[in-house]
Amino acid sequence: MDRMLVVVFDNESKAYEGKKALVQLNKEGSIGVYGYAVLAKNADGSASVKQGDDVGPIGSLLGTSLGSLIGVLAGPAGVAVGASAGLLAGSAFDVSNAGIGADFIDDVSKVLLPTKVAVIAEIDEDWTTPVDTRMEGIGGTVFRRAVSEVQKQIDQENTDAMKADLAQLKAEHAEAQADRKAKLQDKINRLDAKIQAQLQKGKDRREASQRRAQAKVEVLKAKADAVRAKAS
Protein backbone atom coordinates (compact mmCIF):
# COMPACT_ATOMS: atom_id res chain seq x y z
CA MET A 1 0.00 0.00 0.00
CA ASP A 2 1.23 3.48 -0.87
CA ARG A 3 1.59 5.60 2.24
CA MET A 4 2.91 8.95 3.35
CA LEU A 5 5.23 8.48 6.31
CA VAL A 6 6.38 11.11 8.80
CA VAL A 7 8.73 10.15 11.64
CA VAL A 8 9.51 12.93 14.13
CA PHE A 9 12.77 12.93 16.10
CA ASP A 10 14.21 15.17 18.81
CA ASN A 11 17.31 16.13 16.81
CA GLU A 12 19.12 15.83 13.47
CA SER A 13 21.38 13.03 14.61
CA LYS A 14 18.43 10.80 15.45
CA ALA A 15 16.67 11.80 12.22
CA TYR A 16 19.67 10.76 10.14
CA GLU A 17 19.68 7.43 11.95
CA GLY A 18 16.03 7.13 11.02
CA LYS A 19 16.80 7.99 7.40
CA LYS A 20 19.51 5.33 7.27
CA ALA A 21 17.11 2.78 8.76
CA LEU A 22 14.52 3.67 6.12
CA VAL A 23 17.06 3.20 3.32
CA GLN A 24 18.18 -0.09 4.85
CA LEU A 25 14.60 -1.36 5.01
CA ASN A 26 14.26 -0.47 1.34
CA LYS A 27 17.44 -2.43 0.52
CA GLU A 28 16.20 -5.41 2.51
CA GLY A 29 12.94 -5.39 0.55
CA SER A 30 10.81 -4.86 3.68
CA ILE A 31 9.39 -1.66 2.16
CA GLY A 32 9.70 0.34 -1.03
CA VAL A 33 10.93 3.91 -0.64
CA TYR A 34 9.70 6.16 -3.44
CA GLY A 35 11.33 9.29 -2.08
CA TYR A 36 12.17 11.03 1.18
CA ALA A 37 13.54 14.15 2.81
CA VAL A 38 14.79 15.22 6.22
CA LEU A 39 12.97 18.35 7.38
CA ALA A 40 14.19 20.39 10.36
CA LYS A 41 11.91 22.82 12.17
CA ASN A 42 13.94 25.83 13.22
CA ALA A 43 13.48 27.73 16.48
CA ASP A 44 11.93 30.69 14.63
CA GLY A 45 9.22 28.52 13.08
CA SER A 46 10.80 28.26 9.64
CA ALA A 47 11.94 24.93 8.22
CA SER A 48 14.90 23.57 6.28
CA VAL A 49 15.20 20.54 4.04
CA LYS A 50 18.46 19.05 5.27
CA GLN A 51 18.64 16.06 2.99
CA GLY A 52 16.79 14.55 0.04
CA ASP A 53 16.62 11.00 -1.19
CA ASP A 54 19.63 9.12 -2.44
CA VAL A 55 17.84 5.85 -3.15
CA GLY A 56 16.91 6.69 -6.73
CA PRO A 57 15.66 9.35 -9.12
CA ILE A 58 12.07 9.41 -7.99
CA GLY A 59 12.51 12.29 -5.53
CA SER A 60 12.35 14.89 -8.28
CA LEU A 61 9.14 13.31 -9.57
CA LEU A 62 7.18 13.52 -6.35
CA GLY A 63 6.53 17.22 -6.21
CA THR A 64 2.78 16.76 -6.32
CA SER A 65 2.59 14.49 -3.29
CA LEU A 66 5.77 14.31 -1.25
CA GLY A 67 6.86 17.85 -2.12
CA SER A 68 3.44 19.22 -1.21
CA LEU A 69 3.47 17.41 2.12
CA ILE A 70 6.90 18.85 2.90
CA GLY A 71 5.72 22.33 1.94
CA VAL A 72 2.62 22.11 4.12
CA LEU A 73 4.56 20.81 7.12
CA ALA A 74 7.12 23.59 6.66
CA GLY A 75 4.38 25.98 7.72
CA PRO A 76 3.62 29.61 6.84
CA ALA A 77 7.20 30.68 7.55
CA GLY A 78 8.24 28.74 4.49
CA VAL A 79 10.96 26.25 3.73
CA ALA A 80 14.63 26.80 2.92
CA VAL A 81 15.65 24.29 0.28
CA GLY A 82 19.26 23.21 0.02
CA ALA A 83 20.61 20.41 -2.13
CA SER A 84 17.15 18.91 -2.49
CA ALA A 85 15.68 21.65 -4.69
CA GLY A 86 14.58 19.14 -7.31
CA LEU A 87 12.37 17.42 -4.78
CA LEU A 88 10.20 20.48 -4.34
CA ALA A 89 10.29 21.87 -7.87
CA GLY A 90 6.84 22.71 -9.12
CA SER A 91 5.12 21.77 -5.90
CA ALA A 92 2.02 23.79 -5.09
CA PHE A 93 2.52 23.14 -1.36
CA ASP A 94 -1.15 22.24 -1.23
CA VAL A 95 -2.41 19.65 1.25
CA SER A 96 -4.86 18.39 -1.39
CA ASN A 97 -1.91 17.62 -3.68
CA ALA A 98 -0.33 15.46 -0.99
CA GLY A 99 -3.22 12.99 -1.16
CA ILE A 100 -3.81 12.98 2.60
CA GLY A 101 -6.28 14.66 4.93
CA ALA A 102 -5.87 17.87 6.90
CA ASP A 103 -6.33 15.90 10.13
CA PHE A 104 -3.09 14.06 9.38
CA ILE A 105 -1.29 17.40 9.02
CA ASP A 106 -2.79 18.54 12.33
CA ASP A 107 -1.63 15.39 14.14
CA VAL A 108 1.92 15.69 12.80
CA SER A 109 2.12 19.44 13.45
CA LYS A 110 1.35 18.94 17.14
CA VAL A 111 4.56 16.90 17.44
CA LEU A 112 6.76 18.48 14.74
CA LEU A 113 7.50 21.54 16.86
CA PRO A 114 10.43 24.00 16.62
CA THR A 115 13.83 22.25 17.02
CA LYS A 116 12.29 18.89 16.05
CA VAL A 117 13.41 17.05 12.90
CA ALA A 118 11.34 14.71 10.72
CA VAL A 119 11.97 12.11 8.08
CA ILE A 120 9.19 12.47 5.52
CA ALA A 121 8.73 9.79 2.87
CA GLU A 122 6.36 8.21 0.40
CA ILE A 123 6.64 4.46 0.75
CA ASP A 124 5.08 1.14 -0.19
CA GLU A 125 4.63 -1.20 2.77
CA ASP A 126 2.62 -4.37 3.29
CA TRP A 127 2.77 -4.21 7.08
CA THR A 128 3.78 -1.58 9.60
CA THR A 129 5.99 -3.56 11.99
CA PRO A 130 9.35 -3.19 10.17
CA VAL A 131 9.19 0.60 10.06
CA ASP A 132 7.66 1.02 13.51
CA THR A 133 10.19 -1.29 15.18
CA ARG A 134 13.21 0.47 13.65
CA MET A 135 11.95 4.01 14.13
CA GLU A 136 10.64 3.59 17.66
CA GLY A 137 13.93 1.95 18.62
CA ILE A 138 15.70 5.16 17.56
CA GLY A 139 13.23 7.34 19.44
CA GLY A 140 11.00 8.40 16.54
CA THR A 141 7.27 9.09 16.65
CA VAL A 142 5.66 7.52 13.57
CA PHE A 143 2.75 8.91 11.58
CA ARG A 144 1.44 7.32 8.39
CA ARG A 145 -1.52 7.73 6.07
CA ALA A 146 -2.54 5.94 2.89
CA VAL A 147 -2.30 8.12 -0.22
CA SER A 148 -5.76 8.98 -1.54
CA GLU A 149 -6.93 9.72 -5.06
CA VAL A 150 -10.11 11.43 -3.82
CA GLN A 151 -8.89 14.88 -4.89
CA LYS A 152 -9.23 13.92 -8.56
CA GLN A 153 -12.99 13.50 -8.16
CA ILE A 154 -13.28 16.72 -6.16
CA ASP A 155 -11.41 18.65 -8.86
CA GLN A 156 -13.75 17.32 -11.54
CA GLU A 157 -16.85 18.22 -9.52
CA ASN A 158 -15.54 21.76 -8.94
CA THR A 159 -14.80 22.20 -12.63
CA ASP A 160 -18.25 20.93 -13.64
CA ALA A 161 -19.89 23.32 -11.17
CA MET A 162 -17.92 26.30 -12.48
CA LYS A 163 -18.77 25.39 -16.07
CA ALA A 164 -22.47 25.31 -15.15
CA ASP A 165 -22.15 28.77 -13.58
CA LEU A 166 -20.32 30.01 -16.67
CA ALA A 167 -23.08 28.77 -18.96
CA GLN A 168 -25.66 30.58 -16.82
CA LEU A 169 -23.67 33.82 -16.89
CA LYS A 170 -23.34 33.64 -20.66
CA ALA A 171 -27.08 33.10 -21.00
CA GLU A 172 -27.74 36.13 -18.79
CA HIS A 173 -25.20 38.17 -20.76
CA ALA A 174 -27.02 37.42 -24.00
CA GLU A 175 -30.29 38.77 -22.59
CA ALA A 176 -28.91 41.63 -20.49
CA GLN A 177 -29.32 45.33 -21.08
CA ALA A 178 -26.25 47.29 -22.19
CA ASP A 179 -25.56 48.66 -18.70
CA ARG A 180 -25.36 45.11 -17.28
CA LYS A 181 -23.35 43.47 -20.05
CA ALA A 182 -19.99 44.89 -18.97
CA LYS A 183 -20.39 43.64 -15.37
CA LEU A 184 -21.51 40.23 -16.53
CA GLN A 185 -18.65 40.02 -19.01
CA ASP A 186 -16.20 40.75 -16.21
CA LYS A 187 -17.67 37.89 -14.17
CA ILE A 188 -17.50 35.62 -17.22
CA ASN A 189 -13.85 36.45 -17.79
CA ARG A 190 -12.87 35.87 -14.17
CA LEU A 191 -14.76 32.59 -13.93
CA ASP A 192 -13.35 31.37 -17.22
CA ALA A 193 -9.84 32.12 -15.94
CA LYS A 194 -10.56 30.04 -12.83
CA ILE A 195 -11.78 27.15 -14.97
CA GLN A 196 -8.67 27.24 -17.14
CA ALA A 197 -6.47 27.30 -14.04
CA GLN A 198 -8.36 24.33 -12.60
CA LEU A 199 -8.01 22.40 -15.85
CA GLN A 200 -4.28 23.12 -15.97
CA LYS A 201 -3.90 22.02 -12.37
CA GLY A 202 -5.64 18.75 -13.20
CA LYS A 203 -3.41 18.23 -16.24
CA ASP A 204 -0.28 18.87 -14.17
CA ARG A 205 -1.50 16.42 -11.53
CA ARG A 206 -2.21 13.71 -14.13
CA GLU A 207 1.22 14.13 -15.72
CA ALA A 208 2.92 13.99 -12.33
CA SER A 209 0.91 10.87 -11.49
CA GLN A 210 2.05 9.19 -14.70
CA ARG A 211 5.68 10.02 -13.93
CA ARG A 212 5.32 8.71 -10.39
CA ALA A 213 3.68 5.51 -11.62
CA GLN A 214 6.60 4.78 -13.95
CA ALA A 215 9.15 5.57 -11.27
CA LYS A 216 7.32 3.41 -8.75
CA VAL A 217 7.51 0.48 -11.14
CA GLU A 218 11.29 0.80 -10.99
CA VAL A 219 11.29 1.06 -7.18
CA LEU A 220 9.06 -1.99 -6.78
CA LYS A 221 11.15 -3.94 -9.26
CA ALA A 222 14.25 -3.15 -7.19
CA LYS A 223 12.36 -4.27 -4.08
CA ALA A 224 11.43 -7.59 -5.71
CA ASP A 225 15.02 -8.11 -6.87
CA ALA A 226 16.24 -7.50 -3.31
CA VAL A 227 13.80 -10.08 -1.93
CA ARG A 228 14.90 -12.66 -4.51
CA ALA A 229 18.57 -11.97 -3.78
CA LYS A 230 17.95 -12.38 -0.06
CA ALA A 231 16.17 -15.70 -0.64
CA SER A 232 18.89 -17.15 -2.88
Residue 103: CB atoms within 10 Å: 9
Residue 90 pLDDT > 60? no
Query: pLDDT band at 55, cuts 50/70/90?
Result: very low
Query: pLDDT band at 51, cuts 50/70/90?
Result: low
C-alpha distance from residue 175 to each of 59, 120, 121, 153, 215 (Å): 53, 55, 55, 34, 53
pTM here? 0.65
Burial 73-102 (b: 16+ CB within 10 A, else e): bbeeeebebeebebbbeebbbebbbbbbee
Beta strand pairing call for 117-125 and 47-52: unpaired
Contact present, 21 and 140 (Cβ < 8 Å): no
> pLDDT per residue over 117-155, tens digit each?
999 998 888 889 999 999 999 999 999 988 765 556 667
Longest CA–CA separation in the chain, Å:
81
pLDDT of residue 62: 45
pLDDT of residue 67: 74
